A = this chain, B = another copy of it.
Amino acid sequence: MLTPRAEDFPRWYQDLIAKAKLADNGPVRGTMVIRPVGYAIWERMQADMDARIKQAGVQNAYFPLFIPESYLRREADHVEGFSPELAVVTHAGGKELSEPLVVRPTSETVIGEFMAKWVDSYRDLPLLLNQWANVVRWELRPRTFLRTTEFLWQEGHTAHASEADAREHARDVHRNVYEAFMTDFLAIPVVPGRKTRKERFAGATNTMTVEAMMGDTKALQMGTSHELGQNFAKAFDISYSSAAGGVEHAWTTSWGTSTRMLGGLIMVHGDDNGLRLPPVMAPVQVQVMVVKAGDGVAEAATQLFQDLKTAGVRVKLDDRSDVPFGRRAVDAELQGIPIRIEVGPRDLATGNVTIARRVDGSKTPTAIGDVVGAVTSALKADQQRLYDEALAFRAANTVEVKTLGDAIEAAQTGWARVPWSAVGEDGEAEANGKAVTVRCLVRADGSMPDSGDEDGLVAILARSY
């Protein structure tokens, strides 16, 4: 039904999105429609990440979509980084505007403007804000979820009294919000690391990333956190009177994740039959299915549905016996529902139903009285199994090499770990010429480097989305 992954990975990806009804292309090039099946996944992601963001002491707010063009010009690197991607409103209310308005590609500038208004004394710091919003970046080579002209995201923006406090906050979010969310909720192993100077966000002094290996061994940047130094604070005059009585510029950070994570979820966990959703995050964990009508089948299915609901499982009853069972089962597989419970007359005659697990394709006849217990433990085991599979895949496709040449070669079919000292900025440019990028720099022990100049850093080289 789907193009096999091994045959044509990009086509498999687009097939899956279409057939599982996750998204459609929008009418304007590069835009997308997120359909109910896809949006339900995004809502689950949003809710879980939002709770983690609030747990980190951050408050949500909402800033305007339209940004005066002049705002972007105030921070030189920022305007240079975004110019080619901007969508511009020139007419509104039936007239030409005196100043064109940029549709936000990100909100650093407008939030900077308001932080300057709201911050007065050191008592107002840290100021920790987050926004869930749509942003627009004109894409020349769009791909659903991964690179779209409009996407949904959260963007955190914070202001601090010191560089150390800003750095600690950015790292806290990076580890305890992003890395934890991706590991525990999405069941995706990620490598947290530091971007090279070349890969940094426009206007940042440091960009941290979480990188994941997709099913074709390419890398996907799943989220980034930036230390912005005093660049934006100076451009927007975010200053405060310190406890000592002087006037100082604040230190700011920003951090973001987007609907791009949906693309990562598909490319990490999907297989030739469709999506496989980690049970913890699946909008529907269990689909109870009437195989075909028969003595007591509908009643037994309804009872199981109720029992599972009572046990706190997110369960859906599928009693559409006018639609062929095979088609319904294929749809449930495409959409990645972790468990199907198939209730049919023959099994039922012996007091059984069949538990079908999406992750490994197993089908197990199970006594009705054992279903709730079996489902609960299967959901737990399958969450772990998806994570373990992805981790094993990454390990099997990562090699340690010593030279730039070996790294570029290895990066054609996986990830290469190579001493950063063997690459450097010239080597990075050479790799880029061969469609390989330095995904991030990590310390040998896996911890986050404080600088790109530390001794002993390891660079991860890969092709990427």
Chain A residues within 8 Å of B, Cβ to Cβ: 24, 26-28, 31-36, 39-40, 42-43, 59-68, 71, 83-94, 100-101, 103, 110, 113-114, 117, 129, 133-134, 136, 138, 140, 149-150, 152
* Bound CA span A93–B102, Å: 11
Decide if B103 touches A64 in the complex (CB within 8 Å): no
CB-CB nearest in chain B for A85: B93
* Bound CA span A84–B59, Å: 36
A254 to chain B, nearest CB (A): 17
Given A27-B68, A27-B113, A86-B93, 11 new contacts (CB under 8 A): A26-B63, A28-B67, A28-B101, A31-B65, A33-B63, A36-B60, A36-B129, A40-B59, A66-B149, A85-B93, A88-B90
Name the B residues within 8 Å of A31 (CB-CB).
Answer: 64-66
Given the known interface contacts A26-B64, A65-B150, the answer about A138 and B93 at a Cβ–Cβ threshold of 8 Å is yes
CB-CB nearest in chain B for A113: B27
Contacts A/B (CB < 8 Å), 22 sampled:
A26-B63, A27-B71, A28-B68, A31-B64, A31-B65, A33-B114, A34-B61, A35-B61, A36-B60, A36-B129, A39-B61, A39-B62, A65-B103, A86-B92, A86-B93, A87-B93, A87-B101, A88-B92, A90-B91, A91-B100, A93-B138, A94-B138
CB-CB nearest in chain B for A140: B93
* Bound CA span A64–B113, Å: 28
Q: Which residue from B35, B64, B91, B136 sits with its C-beta under 8 Å from A32?
A: B64
Which of A43, A87, A110 has the largest count of B CB atoms less than 10 A from its CB? A87
* Bound CA span A203–B59, Å: 40
Name the B residues within 8 Å of A59 (CB-CB).
Answer: 36, 39-40
Which of A62, A93, A136 has the largest count of B CB atoms less than 10 A from its CB? A62
CB-CB nearest in chain B for A90: B90
- As for how many copies of this chain the complex holds, the number is 2
A429 to chain B, nearest CB (A): 24
* Bound CA span A51–B285, Å: 19
Decide if A138 touches B92 in the complex (CB within 8 Å): yes
A159 to chain B, nearest CB (A): 14
* Bound CA span A61–B152, Å: 12
CB-CB nearest in chain B for A86: B92
A61 to chain B, nearest CB (A): 5
Given the known interface contacts A64-B32, A65-B136, A103-B103, the answer about A84 and B94 at a Cβ–Cβ threshold of 8 Å is yes
Decide if B43 touches A60 in the complex (CB within 8 Å): yes
* Bound CA span A33–B112, Å: 12
Given the known interface contacts A27-B64, A34-B61, A62-B34, the answer about A88 and B89 at a Cβ–Cβ threshold of 8 Å is yes
The 9 tightest CB contacts between A and B, nearest first, are A93-B138, A36-B59, A31-B64, A26-B64, A34-B62, A87-B92, A88-B91, A90-B90, A28-B66
* Bound CA span A93–B149, Å: 10
CB-CB nearest in chain B for A128: B36
CB-CB nearest in chain B for A110: B27
A384 to chain B, nearest CB (A): 30
Decide if A134 touches B65 in the complex (CB within 8 Å): yes
Name the B residues within 8 Å of A149 (CB-CB).
Answer: 66
A135 to chain B, nearest CB (A): 10
* Bound CA span A114–B138, Å: 22
